[in-house]
Structure 1
Amino acid sequence: MGSINRWLRPEVYPLFAAVGVAVGICGMQLVRNICTNPEVRVTKENRAAGVLDNFEEGEKYSQHVVRKYVRNKQPQIMPSINNFFSDPK
């Protein structure tokens, strides 16, 4: 029981949360690539098709919802605060 108390201190919870989020993001990306990437073929029937020129499917995969959302946004984390301190009035 003494070794469990060594690892489950409240100071370690943020570390567990950060590692859990990182593992979740990696798992999500792996599932996304296996399930929706047009160049990844898991089943034998799909692999037998060879190289396909399916540009529409590739465009749909690369231009996903998140990329479409941030396409016309400024690359800033807090643009209102940045504009407040940087733009002269």
Structure 2
Amino acid sequence: MSSSSSLNRWLRPEVYPLFAAVGVAVGICGFQLIRNICSNPEVRVTKENRAAGVLDNFAEGEKYAEHGLRKFVRNKSPEIMPSINSFFTSPDRD
């Protein structure tokens, strides 16, 4: 009966946003871990790649660093709602 009460304590509707936030955070961490293990040019998992030593492969490093999201947001303003921000901060034009 004690397991039923602890289950009811954590599976309330008020706790669902917490589960969602933790799930998103774990998903982001997992994505970054997999991305680094699979495509980072400085990470070498296999023994043959580790034996190669330091490689000066600048093209591969540039490809890893300049991913699609970085290219997309490069020339954007760092604001969440730029139109609302400009409405409240720019002087009125009469």
Q: TM-score range by the shorter chain?
A: over 0.9
Alpha-carbon distance, 1:84 to partner: 1.2
Unaligned runs of 5+ in 2: none
Alignment of 1:45-64 (within 5 A): 45-64=48-67
Alignment of 1:10-89 (within 5 A): 10-88=13-91, 89=93
**Percent identity (aligned):** 80
The residue type paired with residue 85 of structure 1 is F
TM-score by length of 2: 0.92
Rg larger in 1 or in 2?
A: 2
Q: How far apart in 2 are the matches of 1:75 and 1:6? A: 41
Q: How far apart in 2 are the matches of 1:79 and 1:36? A: 34
Alpha-carbon distance, 1:3 to partner: 1.3
Pairs aligned (count): 89
Q: How far apart in 1 are the matches of 2:85 and 2:14? A: 33
TM-score by length of 1: 0.97
